[in-house]
Structure 1
Amino acid sequence: MQAPGSSAPTDAQKTICEKYGLPVQLPDDMVAIALASLDQSPIYGTRIVLPENGTISWFIHAGEHSPSPDFYQALHATHLHELLPQVVNYLCLPAGAKFIIDRAGYEDVWLAD
């Protein structure tokens, strides 16, 4: 995984962006992840436009989404390599991008309207 604050995405991150015809956008240092959902499938990721004074643009969960205010926890992006390595290659997708992947190789990436 590219180090937070690094100016260079990995080859795998660039490949995902190229595959879907999307520009590379370096990730923020922090992500929001639903830790209690990580044993479920599929895995969903949504990147929003970083809010003013915000620190998180990626929201990642597995299985069913919950509207509970404590569904997501803030986590330094470097921990994804240990907790959910499947998502690391998607972190350079631009704001507005969404992905769904599963542990059997399914993958879908698109830009939200």
Structure 2
Amino acid sequence: MTKEEAQRSLCQQYGSVYVVSPEELKIGVAAGVQTGMRPLHGVRHQPEGDTTGWYVWAGEASDAEDLFQPLHVTHLDEWAPSLHRFLGLAPGWRFLLVPEEGYEDVWFDETLLQ
């Protein structure tokens, strides 16, 4: 199954419209994602400029200004390949994952669109 097919399938499963996250655009990723911290969190805001609108972190949330670093979607395989299938969810969607335990929660959060 291709990445796009996996994304479309997940969108259909949860009732989201499919919104592509082009590989040349960026997501905001916290360092804990690469180091294996858990759980994994993701939220999608409206895309702006050269970003997809996605922000992903691991562990507890933080207010640190430098929490997120820009990462091109194409490089996500090096950080957390299990996240690719969520990147087709539309703005306003969130996820919470613990891949090693098979835990997955995906939901729409209208406040992300405000």
Question: Please, what TM-score do these two structures have when normalized by structure 2?
Answer: 0.84
| Deviation of the 1:105 alpha carbon | 1.1
Alignment equivalent of 2:104, drawn from 97, 101, 107? 107
Identity %: 33
Is 88-97 or 28-37 further displaced after alignment?
A: 28-37
Indicate the SS of the match to 2:107.
strand
Letter in 1 for 2:40: I
Alignment equivalent of 1:13, drawn from 7, 10, 16? 7
Aligned residues: 106
Indicate the SS of the match to 1:10.
helix
Matches within 5 A, 1:44-83: 44-51=41-48, 53=49, 55-83=51-79
Matches within 5 A, 1:93-104: 93-103=89-99, 104=101
Letter in 2 for 1:100: L
Which runs of 5 or more residues in structure 1 are unaligned?
A: 3-8
Indicate the SS of the match to 2:20.
coil
Which runs of 5 or more residues in structure 2 are unaligned?
A: none
| Deviation of the 1:54 alpha carbon | 5.5
The aligned residue for residue 27 of structure 1 is: 21
Indicate the SS of the match to 2:7.
helix
